[in-house]
Structure formats: structure tokens, C-alpha cells
Amino acid sequence: MSEPKAVILLSGGLDSATVLAIARDQGYACHALSFAYGQRHSAELAAADRVARSHGAVAHRTASIPLDLFGGSALTDRSIAVPETGVTDQIPVTYVPARNTIFLSLSLGWAEVLGARDIFIGVNALDYSGYPDCRPEFIAAYERMANLATKAGVEGQGFRIHTPLIELTKGEIIRRGIALGVDYAQTVSCYQADDQGRACGRCDSCRLRAKGFDEAGIADPTPMQIRSQELGARKQLPPDLAAHQPGTAK
């Protein structure tokens, strides 16, 4: 019996790499879908390609969706600075309007063409930056819409949107990924990574990633743009990142 097909949203970051590993472990033939959406850097797309090859995706496609045409986010408009002051209770300027709605729509279309009934996305409702399109309510509403708006859904071959990370802390996600053999050195999480994929160590995504590795009790393999020796003193780094510098004992 052949493996059931699934479409996996793959950004190249920590969460999506873990989701791909989970889907493969559950026996799915994984078709990975990434997006060049006008984001600040392309390092995450190179990471997505590495992760897809490492974790046995049977196909990996990158769709171009120029969300920078509209801007409105620090990730798609370079005139808006990426915040470096830490995660707050407010929806941050790194929120990209309608991003997950658009990404899920493309994945739904590919899934219907493939004859796949399962879509995996790495949204998380605990350790995240407050994005409204990462909430369980959004996913449930989208799944209902998907089964109303497609030929497959109308004919009774319903779609399921899987969110295996949605109730996990970042530390739990990392431990799950390590158990499944995820090499997090291949991933890029930083909102403003350089061309080599080196992290800034200051944006919300870097802080959440560092927090997760600290909780998991595992050294983060993320290469950093600014190393402690280059600054002359570790005390000049954000306190939550200083302990994660390469070569620093924990």
C-alpha cells in the first residue's frame, strides 16, 4: 500500500523542519511547499531546500508570492525596522498581513491536484509572537472553508489541516525534533539573517529560539552574526542570548 500524500508548509525554520520530520514519521509522502514572498532574506529558502532533502520530501517547490508589493510588515518592507526589544503582548510589526491564509490557500490547491487530503503547518499558540493566524480558531475556520470551497471537499473527500506543534512549548518542539533526527543547524529562524544564514540574535524569533533551546537543555547550533569575542565582552549581548554564544559553557 502506497504512502498517503501530504503537503507540508516548509519555511526553513525550526518549527517547519520539525513538522516535516513528524509527518514523515507518521508515514506520509511529503510534498514540501516554500514561499519567496518578498521576505528580508533568502537564507531561509536555502535552509528549506536543505531540510527537504535531509528529511525525505518526495518533492519540494517554492512559490513566488510578492507580498512586498503591499508591504505593511517589517518582514516585507525594509523601511520598517525589525524590533529587537523582546516579545510583548502586542501583535508585532513582523506580522505579515494574511500570510498564513495565502500560504494555506496555495497548499490547498496543490493538495487537491496531488490527491492529498492532509496539510501540515507549524503554527504554535504558546511560544509565538502573537500572530492572529497562528491560533487554533483560525486553523479550524480555515479547514471548514477548505471543505466548502473545493471539489474534493464537496465530493466528500475532506481535507485535514494538521498542527502538531500548536500546543507545545518551543523547548518541547526542539526535544521532539531531536528525537526524530532533525539537524537544527540546517535551519534558519532569524527575521534578519545575513546571506550565510547567520542570526542577528536580537529579533523576536531569535529570542524565542534561544529560549527554546535553553528549556530543552540543548546547545543551539545557530551561527551568529555578532560573536562575543567580536564585541569584546559578553555583557554587551542581550542577557537571554549571551549564554547561547558558540563556545560558551552553559
Q: Are 210 and 240 a contacting pair, CB within 8 Å? A: yes
- How many angstroms separate the most distant Cα atoms in the chain? 65
Mean pLDDT within 179-196: 96
Ramachandran class of 77: left when φ > 0, alpha when ψ lies in -120 to 50, beta otherwise = beta
Of the ranges 8-12, 91-95, 240-244, the best mean pLDDT one? 8-12
Report pLDDT digits (tens) over 137-173. 999 999 999 999 999 999 998 999 999 999 999 999 9
* Residue 192: other Cβ atoms inside 10 A: 22
Mean predicted lDDT score pLDDT of the chain: 90
Mean pLDDT within 200-225: 94
Give helix 14-25 / helix 170-179 axis angle, nearest 10°: 50
Instruction: Give the whole-angstrom CA distance, residue 199 versus residue 194.
Output: 7
**Segments forming the whole domain that contains residue 171:** 5-188
Whether residue 215 is contained in a domain is answered as no
In whole angstroms, how far apart are CA 5 and each of 101, 108, 116, 171?
Answer: 21, 13, 5, 29
Query: Which distant-in-sequence residues (6+ apart) come within 8 Å of 201 by Cβ?
Result: 190, 210, 224, 225, 226, 237, 238, 241, 244
Count of structural domains within the chain: 1
Whether residue 11 is contained in a domain is answered as yes
| Opening angle at CA 238, ends 187 and 226, nearest 5 | 55
In this prediction, residue 230 carries a pLDDT of 44
Nearest Cα residue to 5 out of 169, 104, 100, 116: 116
| Opening angle at CA 194, ends 225 and 226, nearest 5 | 10
Q: Are 7 and 110 a contacting pair, CB within 8 Å? A: yes
Q: To the nearest 10°, report the CA torsion of 123, 17, 109, 124.
A: 0
Percent residues over pLDDT 90 in the chain? 83
Whether residue 48 is contained in a domain is answered as yes
Whether residue 198 is contained in a domain is answered as no
Whether residue 130 is contained in a domain is answered as yes
With 50 as the cut, is the pLDDT of residue 73 above it? yes
With 80 as the cut, is the pLDDT of residue 233 above it? no
Instruction: Give the whole-angstrom CA distance, residue 95 versus residue 76.
Output: 10
In this prediction, residue 210 carries a pLDDT of 95
Read off the CATH number of the domain in which 162 is found: 3.40.50.620
Nearest Cα residue to 75 out of 198, 204, 166, 170: 204
Whether residue 231 is contained in a domain is answered as no
Whether residue 168 is contained in a domain is answered as yes
Report pLDDT digits (tens) over 9-44. 999 999 999 999 999 999 999 999 999 999 999 999
In this prediction, residue 103 carries a pLDDT of 98
In this prediction, residue 129 carries a pLDDT of 67
With 80 as the cut, is the pLDDT of residue 174 above it? yes
Whether residue 203 is contained in a domain is answered as no
